[in-house]
C-alpha cells in the first residue's frame, strides 16, 4: 500500500499547469524537408508547393507527426528557445521517488491533431499533469502511471492563439519487482516446459540457407552474372543488379570480426552471458552466429573459428562457431 502522505501530495499535482516552451524557429521548409528525408516520408504535400496548392493549401504543410519537433530544445539538454519556462513539468516524479519508487520507464505517447501547421507559424506548448493513476503492480514492479498533456498552439498577433494539436506522454514511476533468487529460478525451471528457441523468419530469399543448415552445410548466395558472394541473402546483386543466383558451400573456416556478449536481459532459453559473433568467413562474407566453447571474457578479434551445426528443440539446426587452435 502506498503511503497516504504520498497519495495526498501527488493528488495536488493533478491539473497543475506549467509555462510555455517556444519553438526556436518558425515552421519552415528546410526542417520539413530534412525530417521527411530522415523519416523516409515522400508525400509531396510536405515538399512540393504546386502539389500542396492543388490539394487546397496555400503552400506546403508540415507533417503532423513532426509536431513535437518544432519545440525541441536542440542538441544540448534544456537548451530551449528564449521566453520558454524553466519549470520542470515532471517534478511530481521526484516527489514519488522520495517515497521509494526509484525507477522510471516511458510507457507511451499519443499525438492528436487539430489541423495542419503551415510555413511561418510560431508554435509553443504548455504542459499540465493530466492524471496520476492509483498505485498499480505490473510485471516491472509497483508504482504510478503519470500522464502529462502538452497542448501545442500557434501564436497569433491578434492574441487569440489557436490549438493545433496535443501530445500525451505517460511514464511509469515504480519500485522494481524483486529479481527471483537463483533457487527460485531453479524451481520455476522445473515447473514449466523448457522454452524453445525462436525460429528464424524464412522467406523465399533465405530458405536455401536454412535448408542448407539442416544438411549441415553453410551455403552462401552467389550472383551467377558477376560471381559476387553475398550474405545475408537478398534478391538482387548489389554489384550488378542481377536477379540470377545460386549458392556455394562455405568451408566453415572463419575468423572473429567482432562480437557482443549479451548479459542482460536474460531471455530464455539462451545461456547468459551469451556471446554472439560477427564472423568473417574465409570466402569473404560475414554472418552473425552464436559462439560456442568460448570464455566470453577471452574473446579476441581475429581469432580463428570453425563452423559446427547444432540441433535445437528437435526442430532447427543452427550454424555456430567454435575456436580452433
Ligand atoms: Zn552480380
The tens place of each residue's pLDDT in the chain, 325 residues long, gives 789 999 999 999 999 999 999 999 999 999 999 999 999 999 999 999 999 999 999 999 999 999 999 999 877 777 899 999 999 899 999 999 999 999 998 888 999 999 999 999 999 999 999 999 999 998 889 999 999 999 999 999 888 899 999 999 999 999 988 654 444 444 454 555 678 898 988 999 999 999 999 999 999 999 999 999 999 999 999 999 999 999 999 999 999 999 999 988 888 888 889 999 999 999 999 999 999 999 999 999 999 999 999 999 999 999 999 999 7
Q: In this structure, which CATH number among 3.20.20.450, 3.20.20.80, 3.20.20.105, 2.40.50.840 belongs to the domain 207-323?
A: 2.40.50.840
Preceding amide of 278 cis, omega within 30: no
* Strand residue runs (E) in 219-252: 219-223, 229-230, 245-249
Please answer whether residues 305 and 277 qualify as being in contact, where contact means their C-beta atoms are separated by less than 8 angstroms: yes
Tell how far the Cα of 221 is from the centroid of ligand 1, in angstroms. 11
* Ligand 1 centroid to residue 238 C-alpha, Å: 7
Residues of the chain with CATH 2.40.50.840: 207-323
Ligand 1 mean position to 137 CA, how many Å? 56
Find the 239 Cα to ligand 1 centroid distance in Å: 5
Contact 262, 274 (CB under 8 A): yes
Q: Is-contact 243 236, C-beta < 8 A? A: yes
CA of 232 from ligand 1 middle (Å) equals: 15
**Which residues are bridge partners to 221 per DSSP?**
230, 247
Distance CA(3)–CA(183), nearest Å, equals 32
| Distance in Å, CA 228 to ligand 1 centroid | 5
Please give the pLDDT value at position 126. 96
For 98-129, b/e burial (b = at least 16 CB within 10 A) is ebebeebeeeeeebeeeebbbbebbbbbbbbb
Neighbours of 318 (CB within 10 A): 15
Å from CA of 283 to ligand 1 middle:
16
CA distance 100 to 189: 31
pTM of the entire predicted model: 0.56
The answer to whether residues 173 and 104 touch, using CB atoms and an 8 Å cutoff, is yes
Give span(s): CATH 3.10.129.10, the chain: 4-176
Give 225 Cα–ligand 1 centroid separation in angstroms. 5
Ligand 1 centre distance from Cα of residue 231 (Å): 13
Which is the CATH superfamily of the domain at 4-176? Hotdog Thioesterase (3.10.129.10)
C-alpha 234 to ligand 1 mean position (Å): 12
- The C-alpha atoms of residue 321 and residue 143 are separated, in whole angstroms, by 44
Q: Are 125 and 118 in contact (CB under 8 A)?
A: no
| CA distances to 28, 47, 61, 178, 236 from 119, in Å | 5, 11, 7, 52, 41
- Residue by residue, DSSP assigns 119-173 as TT--EEEEEEEEEEPPPEE-SSEEEEEEEEEEEEEE--TTS--EEEEEEEEEEEE
Amino acid at each position: 500500500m502506498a503511503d497516504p502522505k504520498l497519495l495526498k501530495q501527488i493528488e495536488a499535482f493533478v491539473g497543475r499547469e506549467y509555462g510555455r516552451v517556444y519553438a526556436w524557429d518558425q515552421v519552415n521548409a528546410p526542417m520539413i524537408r530534412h525530417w521527411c528525408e530522415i523519416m523516409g516520408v515522400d508525400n509531396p504535400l510536405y515538399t512540393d508547393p504546386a502539389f500542396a496548392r492543388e490539394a487546397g493549401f496555400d503552400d506546403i504543410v508540415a507533417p503532423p507527426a513532426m509536431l513535437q519537433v518544432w519545440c525541441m530544445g536542440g542538441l544540448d539538454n534544456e537548451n530551449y528557445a528564449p521566453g520558454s519556462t524553466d519549470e520542470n513539468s515532471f517534478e511530481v516524479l521526484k516527489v514519488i521517488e522520495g517515497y521509494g519508487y526509484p525507477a522510471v520507464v516511458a510507457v507511451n505517447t499519443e499525438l492528436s491533431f487539430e489541423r495542419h501547421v503551415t510555413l511561418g507559424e510560431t508554435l509553443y506548448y504548455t504542459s499540465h499533469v493530466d492524471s496520476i493513476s492509483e498505485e498499480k503492480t505490473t510485471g516491472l514492479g509497483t508504482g504510478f502511471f503519470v500522464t502529462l498533456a502538452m497542448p501545442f498552439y500557434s501564436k497569433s498577433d491578434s492574441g487569440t492563439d489557436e490549438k493545433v494539436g496535443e501530445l500525451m506522454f505517460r511514464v511509469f514511476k515504480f519500485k522494481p519487482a524483486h529479481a527471483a533468487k537463483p533457487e527460485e529460478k531453479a524451481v520455476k525451471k522445473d515447473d514449466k516446459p523448457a522454452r524453445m528457441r525462436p525460429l528464424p523468419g524464412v522467406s523465399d530469399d533465405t530458405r536455401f540457407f536454412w535448408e542448407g543448415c539442416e544438411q549441415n552445410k553453410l551455403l552462401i548466395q552467389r550472383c551467377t552474372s558477376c560471381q559476387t558472394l553475398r550474405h545475408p541473402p537478398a534478391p538482387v546483386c548489389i554489384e550488378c543488379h542481377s536477379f540470377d543466383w545460386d549458392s556455394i558451400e562455405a568451408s566453415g573456416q572463419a575468423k572473429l570480426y567482432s562480437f557482443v556478449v549479451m548479459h542482460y536481459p536474460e531471455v530464455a532459453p539462451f545461456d547468459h552471458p551469451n556471446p554472439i559473433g560477427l564472423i568473417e568467413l574465409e570466402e569473404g562474407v560475414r554472418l552473425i552466429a552464436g559462439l560456442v566453447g568460448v570464455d566470453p571474457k577471452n574473446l579476441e578479434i581475429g581469432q580463428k573459428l570453425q563452423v559446427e551445426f547444432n540441433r535445437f528443440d528437435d526442430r532447427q539446426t543452427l550454424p555456430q562457431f567454435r575456436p580452433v587452435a
